[in-house]
Amino acid sequence: MKKTVLLTLVIGIMTVFSANAQKKAMDKFMVQVDGLGCPFCAYGLEKKFKEFKGIKAVKIDIETGDFSFKYPAEKALSMQDVEKQVEKAGYTPVSSKIERADGTIEESKGLSETKVAEGKLTSKSLMVAGNCGMCEARIVKAAKSVQGVSEASWNKDTKMMRVGFDATMTALLDIEKAISDSGHDTKNHQTDDATYNALPACCHYDRISQ
Amino acid sequence: MKLLFISIGLFFITSCKEKEELPKKWVFVETIEVKGVNPIGIANVDGQLWLSDGDHNRLVQIDKGGKIMKTIDSLERPMHIDALGKTLYVPEYGKDAIEMIDENGRTVLQMKDSLDAPAGVSVYKKEKAIADFYNNRIIYFDGRNWIAFGKEGKAKGYFYYPTDVQITEDKIWVADAYNNRVQVFDKNGKFLQMMGQDQKMNAATGIFVSDSEVFITDFENDRVLIFDKEGNLKQELSKNIEKATDLIIQDGKLKIINYRNGKINVFNQVAIEPNQADMKK
């Protein structure tokens, strides 16, 4: 009788511990973000992330761009979901890594630039509206996401972008379209109001009238 | 006798001319390096300078050479701080609270209204004002009652993410950061004037108001603009200024903090001859 009671007690304790362990199982997300110049926006985005139900240990290092948080493993948050959410919050993710609670690791290295042979490279300048370092990261990433673009840079003071691409693979208008989809007006493409309004405060530039 | 009166008259005229105040401008004196700190706010507590180090969730007290003498940890993104007597007032952006810190410990300012990312606080006698960043408003306590004014927008009296505030004897001055301007209100929250809206600022983040001047940091453009109380631009400072977030006058010296590199640039006010009045930089 004594043995049965003891066994029941041990099984009971183990069940509680196991349930707690499962409850506490968290995936760890590490995202490298670019363009964190303005503390007001960066801290704000960190704050907004903290409001997601179940999220823990939200931390952003402004100097290194290391953004990390923990999220319940049972939610099985995907890399794509995380990057989308990070972008939605205004950050520009460069690379991401997930350490799953079960020990598996997932990594995303970000964009791989198109390599264009020297003779085929077309260089163009265009005006892109934006304000700050966060804008710069977003604009450059949007341009480089277009197949055929090998180089892109943007100057926040002059608002001018320099872009190098293979004209047999893409055209300047396509690049402008990708940039405007990311939230930034160009001469030929204006971003929609909803995308513009979703940008962080420091990125709210003066709109280019078409 | 007539000659005596003329001489006395001339004497008084000359004396008055000698006492006539020459225009003044701020000139760069030195840079103080504060290692490992990314300051956002600056306050003077009983002659000691305190900085809020937002990136590292702490306050630090520094000596004249920039050496850290004391640290207060466990804060959540402390922003534009202020002080009254020996008490520090700390807006915690990540915690939606204002903490009061003195020798006796730490207490949270009790208020009925809830904040969403307080970015700046000002204390003046029994009065308090808070720049409530995400709510796009200023919350003001006149010593007896709290009022709130402003909402999101670009028109007069509206805000687009206010980051700092200062109370003076009869006014409330607001760094209306992403409207790129300063707005001034009476103590009932009534809009009085704005300044800097035509200066192409890019994030007007920190404000300091002296007896005769209004100083505002232009964060992205790496400069500080100085206006008279009517809103006329008097001077622009840019030497060694990089991502400036706040400023203060201590013992007659203007101290401007750089967020990114942790440097404090010090300026002195000197008299200038009217014909030398190149007020830039």
Q: Name the interface residues of A facing B (CB cutoff 8 Å).
A: 37-40, 43-44, 46-47, 50, 61-63, 131-132, 156, 201-202, 204
With bands split at pLDDT 50, 70 and 90, how would you rate the model's confidence at A46?
confident
Residues A35, A136: contact at Cβ < 8 Å?
yes
The CA distances from residue A33 to A23, A86, A98, A133, B253, in Å, are 29, 9, 15, 12, 38
Q: Which of B93, B219, B243 faces A47 most closely, judged by CB atoms?
A: B93
Q: Is B245 on the interface with A (CB under 8 A)?
A: yes
CB contact under 8 A, B161 and A201: yes
Mean pLDDT of all residues belonging to chain A = 85
For A26-108, the fitting CATH number among 3.30.70.100, 3.20.20.70, 2.60.120.10, 2.130.10.10 is 3.30.70.100
Question: Is A26's pLDDT higher than 80?
Answer: yes
ipTM of the complex: 0.80
pLDDT digits 0-9 by tens, A98-136: 999 999 999 987 666 667 777 789 999 999 999 888 899
> Higher pLDDT residue, A71 or A94?
A71
Q: Which residues contact B169 (CB under 8 A, 6 or more apart)?
A: B124
* Fold annotation for A118-203: Alpha-Beta Plaits (3.30.70)
> Of the ranges B94-103, B109-118, B246-255, B268-277, which one carries the lowest mean pLDDT score?
B268-277
Question: Is B15's pLDDT higher than 60?
Answer: no
A interface test, pick of B56, B96, B180, B202 with most A CB neighbours within 10 Å: B202
pLDDT digits 0-9 by tens, B122-137: 999 999 999 999 999 9
Q: Do domains A26-108 and A118-203 have the same CATH topology?
A: yes
Nearest chain B residue (CA) to A60: B55
CA distance A206 to chain B (A): 11
- Looking at residue B12, its pLDDT comes to 53
* Chain A CB contacts of B203 below 8 Å: 38, 40, 131-132, 202
- Looking at residue A51, its pLDDT comes to 78
- Sign of the Cα pseudo-torsion (A112, A115, A120, A124, in order): positive
DSSP-derived letter for residue B274 is: G
With bands split at pLDDT 50, 70 and 90, how would you rate the model's confidence at A71?
very high
The predicted model gives B178-188 an average pLDDT of 97
Question: Is B279's pLDDT higher than 90?
Answer: no
CB contact under 8 A, B77 and A50: no
Alpha-carbon span A65 to A87, nearest angstrom: 14
CB contact under 8 A, B55 and A61: yes
Alpha-carbon span A93 to A138, nearest angstrom: 9
pLDDT digits 0-9 by tens, B193-224: 999 999 999 999 999 999 999 999 999 999 99
CA distance A66 to chain B (A): 12
Mean pLDDT of all residues belonging to chain B = 93
Domains, chain B, in order of start with CATH, read: 23-276 (2.120.10.30)
Query: Model-level pTM greater than 0.90?
Result: no
Range A153-190 burial, b when 16+ CB lie within 10 A, else e? ebebeebebebbbbeeebebebbbebbbebbbbbeebb
CB contact under 8 A, B177 and A39: no
pLDDT digits 0-9 by tens, B133-178: 999 999 999 999 999 999 999 999 999 999 999 999 999 999 999 9
Nearest chain A residue (CA) to B259: A39
CA distance B56 to chain A (A): 9
- Looking at residue A37, its pLDDT comes to 75
Nearest chain B residue (CA) to A64: B55
Q: Which residues contact B195 (CB under 8 A, 6 or more apart)?
A: B181, B182, B184, B214, B227, B231
Q: Which of B94, B161, B177 faces A46 most closely, judged by CB atoms?
A: B94
- Strand-pair category, B118-124 with B58-62: unpaired
* Residue owning tokens 């030497």: B239
- Looking at residue B233, its pLDDT comes to 98
Q: Which of B38, B133, B260 faces A40 most closely, judged by CB atoms?
A: B133
pLDDT digits 0-9 by tens, A1-18: 566 665 665 555 555 545
Residue spans of the domains in chain A: they are 26-108, 118-203
Q: Is B141 on the interface with A (CB under 8 A)?
A: no
| E strand or H helix that includes residue B68 | strand B68-72
* Residue B275: CA count within 13 A, CB half-sphere: 0
Alpha-carbon span B253 to B45, nearest angstrom: 16
Name the burial class of residue B104, with classes exposed (0-12), middle (13-18) and buried (19+) by CB atoms within 10 angstroms of its CB. Answer: exposed
* Chain A CB contacts of B133 below 8 Å: 40, 44
B interface test, pick of A41, A47, A132 with most B CB neighbours within 10 Å: A47
Question: Is B16's pLDDT higher than 90?
Answer: no
Task: Give the amino acid at B84.
Answer: L
